A = this chain, B = another copy of it.
Amino acid sequence: MAASLPARILARPAFENAFAARAFVRAMLEFEAALAHAQAAEGLFPGDHARSIAEACATIALDEEELVAEGRRHASLAVPLVAALRERVAASSPAAARDVHRGATSQDVLDTATALCLRPCLDEADRALEAAVRALALRAREHRETPMLGRTLLQPALAIPAGLKIARWAAALAADRERLAEAQSVGLAVQLGGPVGALEALGAKGPAVRHRMALALGLADAAPWHAHRNAWIDLLDRAGLVVLTAGKIARDVSLLAQAEVGEMREAPPRPGVGGSSSMPHKRNPVACAQALAAATRIPGLLATLHAAAAGEHERALGGWQAELAVVPEIAAALGGALDFLETIAGSLVVDAQRMRANLERFGEPSTVHPEAVDEALAGLAAYLT
């Protein structure tokens, strides 16, 4: 099924591609090629077997619909993929064919492929977060002394520097970015455990093979995580935190963009954007909608991830399969959040005059302390150079 159109318009194209069928199949084949190379390097079978396998992985054309149809019959995409790959290798090298997928199991392929598809999303998140923090920190400094109403429980409270609000956004994103990078270094790992996670078929070479694969695939090395998923869940939880911060910023911006408030708004990239099918003059906060929709989805998506965690024995029945299906959607939510952050970082409109007017009308006399902005920005020095 193509993702539904309503889901697609909330998605970030690069993230759609990251988990597209083609990309996922490629990732599964990358796993098989890396597995073969690593075993050959450890002397488990001849190097030309590995080369034959890798050659087949590079050139085999798999029909997505056939893969899905057959995958359904096994509740595993790996079964038909491995069968097709083995057949392909057998055509040129029957001996090498026996070494296809050797020692591995479906979950090894699928977990690793999922990690490989997620990686570019996380890399892009890191870059987009860095840019957003930098841009927002600059805007915060710019509005170091601009007074605006602080608002609590949706009521006017005391004045704050507009820069303080923006600096807090930036600091939150910077902290999210650090947390995400840290979790990625541990949780974005190769999976190699074999049928029951004991890597039994590779004997003493198991850990060395896995280590080689991790290096080759650009993933962390880790003990088999087929049945204990917390490093992985922690990584996805933290991707979720990025989405929640983006949602919080979008909440603020969209409230400030109400016509009656008018203090900030997202500036659309070009005229005509954000229109309505019935009121063409209307300008909708499209990027905010995207971020808020993503933030609305995150609690339910992470809940599924968490619910799937307490799985049965050496491979869960149902839970693990649900987890795999949910990861691309967590990535999609992350992509939506990044789209919003890029819009905001690039073109947030701040109306200092309106801020002053609202403060005079609805606030009470109070002075703002720009030092609070400086303190909030103190931890972001690296972004402000």
- What string of 1s and 0s marks CB contacts (under 8 Å) between A196-219 and chain B? 111110011011000000000000
Most buried by B among A74, A82, A240: A74
Chain B nearest Cβ from A164, distance in angstroms = 6
- Within A4-28, the residues touching B (CB, 8 Å) are 4-11, 15-17, 19-21, 24-25
Note all chain B residues with C-beta closer than 8 A to A312. Answer: 151, 153-154, 251-252, 255
Of A24, A251, A322, most buried by chain B (CB within 10 Å of CB) is: A322
The minimal Cβ–Cβ distance linking A79 to chain B, given in whole angstroms, is 5
Query: Could you say which interface size class chain A belongs to?
Result: 35 or more
A283–B157 alpha-carbon span in the complex (Å): 10
B74, A248: Cβ atoms under 8 Å?
A: no
- Is residue A293 within 8 Å, beta carbon to beta carbon, of the partner chain? yes
Q: Are A101 and B278 in contact (CB under 8 A)?
A: yes
| Protomer copies | 4
Contact B300 A6 (CB under 8 A): no
Which single residue of chain B is at the shortest CB-CB distance from A16?
A: B1
User: In the assembled complex, which residues on chain B have CB atoms less than 8 Å from the CB atom of A279?
Assistant: 105, 157-158, 195
User: Is the C-beta of A185 less than 8 angstroms from some C-beta in chain B?
Assistant: no
Q: Which residues of B contact A17 (CB under 8 A)?
A: 1
Does A384 sit at the interface, judged by CB under 8 A? no
Give the interface centre of A75, A77, A244 by most chain B CB atoms within 10 Å: A75
With a cutoff of 8 Å between Cβ atoms, the chain B residues found around residue A106 in the complex are 276-278
A329 to B328, CA, bound (A): 13
Q: Does A98 contact B (CB under 8 A)?
A: no
Is A314 in contact with B151, judged by CB distance below 8 angstroms? yes
Chain B residues with CB below 8 A from A286, complex form = 72-75
